[in-house]
Structure 1
């Protein structure tokens, strides 16, 4: 489907494998459930079908790319590949990607890197996607800003993937589609009161 939508086969495979890995890990809101959205974004041009990330700055151990809204999973894969190559020369390597498209489930990228003996830390934010209100506030000011870490050990790697908000947008949307309630009052309604009703996410203010 991704190839038919215009992605090169190698890029489509990375995107598909990332979404599938998320499902296998139990993160179904950030797995293949995202495929219809990705296909629509490719069709509309909001997700770029071709091109390469532009190197804005390269200081060896610190690299900044402009992703030009290329597929997020493919960009992250390329960034991790570069970082692991550079880690031979530098104790810490940081790759920052601006203007990436959605990168799916952060946990899906971690195990392979951690099994190579590397500690990997991923974080992301979307300044345009304002869905989270600061503590004590009502107006949404920033995105859920997830953070994930893959930690190598002598046996199985430790995998951590958390949202810095009470929940993720994808889970709220899923519960809303299902007509179900959230497990806890993780949202604020239009009056600033805690609620477990996912419909509150779509009210104004959210």
Structure 2
């Protein structure tokens, strides 16, 4: 889509709009600001599928009473280093942030902290939780399960979620942090929803339609199944997410998580979070120097034909974030209309945008 067809919102305007819209729908000011920060973080990193365009689907669930905007998660310690958060059907952002905060706090004393989250909801882009740990100087693992979208390898029905696996570690003296955030499917399902909203087609290797045929039509893809990356490898990763996030936590699993776009019943998502000090086995300076060597080796290795530059995991998104902080967050008219439609329902000021030519 041509840039001229895009509308742009500044980081500040997007955050203010999202905060006000959530607060007008019963979310506390503190929680609304946190959720808005996480959604805008996704937009800034170029993960448009998990940005502020998600708000209408979240608010539909709030209005239907299947997501409680006022719920307060509670934390129970299982051991000195392990805790469980019961989200009580609150926003996944709020419950998982509590879990990561506790894991980081515990890790400062014991070297590692772990938290499981049950009865939660979609928490957007996993990388924001990795960043939360990085801000505390921590390495991290972030798992979640999600609603069925993938077949297990050899199957044809939706059973496993397109559940992202994420992890991170501080970078070296002159290198960016390591941030991995990836789905076990060829593409994230949110990209299909984005293509549908924007009237775009999808690559034919992303999904199958209801008849099991490859399709470039996002609407047909949503009636079928996503395809796992690497065949049985991606399928096994999706099962792993269900084991650690769903089975272990006591949340829904084996296809039982409700789709975030389905406002008929609570989602009951589970998460699994680990924070770890990077200086457990050596001094912090030594660790960072070793990360520097790793980064330089990765980006400086000999390139295959046609490749101009090699990037460290998470680096492309960090570069995009710098650009979008400067130029604004790109949206299409349909997304702006949907957001402003929500604003009109509760009397919130409309999202401020500008065209590419302004």
TM-score w.r.t. length of structure 1: 0.90
Is this contact kept in 2: 1:111–1:157, CA < 8 A?
A: no
Q: C-alpha offsets along residues 64-94 of structure 1, whole Å, 9 cap, x if unaligned? A: 2221110111112111111111112222211
Q: Label 1:52 to 1:115 Cα distance change in 2 as closer, same or farther (>3 A).
A: closer
CA–CA distance in structure 2, aligned partners of residues 43 and 6 of structure 1: 10
Structure 1 counterpart of 2:154, from 121, 132, 136:
136
Q: Label 1:179 to 1:2 Cα distance change in 2 as closer, same or farther (>3 A).
A: same
Matched, 1:190 2:210: yes
Say which structure, 1 or 2, has more relative contact order (CA 8 Å, 6+ apart): 2
Task: Give the structure with the higher percent helix.
Answer: 2
| 1:77 partner SS | helix
Q: Deviating runs (4+, > 6 A) in structure 1?
A: none
The residue aligned with 1:145 is 163
Q: Which moved more, 1:154-163 or 1:104-113?
A: 104-113
Q: Which moved more, 1:30-39 or 1:41-50?
A: 41-50
Q: C-alpha offsets along residues 103-160 of structure 1, whole Å, 9 cap, x if unaligned? A: 011112222422432101111103xx21111222211111101111121122421111
The within-5 A match list for 1:53-202 is 53-55=73-75, 58-126=78-146, 129-154=147-172, 155-202=175-222
| 1:3 partner SS | helix
Q: Label 1:51 to 1:190 Cα distance change in 2 as closer, same or farther (>3 A).
A: closer
Matched, 1:26 2:51: no
| 2:142 partner SS | strand
Is this contact kept in 1: 2:85–2:115, CA < 8 A?
A: yes
Q: CA deviation at 1:198?
A: 1.6
Is this contact kept in 2: 1:22–1:28, CA < 8 A?
A: yes
| 1:87 partner SS | helix
The runs of 5 or more residues in structure 2 that have no matched partner are 1-20, 227-358
The residue aligned with 2:349 is none
Matched, 1:2 2:22: yes
Q: Label 1:204 to 1:184 Cα distance change in 2 as closer, same or farther (>3 A).
A: closer
Is this contact kept in 1: 2:212–2:224, CA < 8 A?
A: no
Aligned residues: 204
The runs of 5 or more residues in structure 1 that have no matched partner are none
CA–CA distance in structure 2, aligned partners of residues 173 and 195 of structure 1: 14
| 2:84 partner SS | strand
CA–CA distance in structure 2, aligned partners of residues 205 and 163 of structure 1: 14
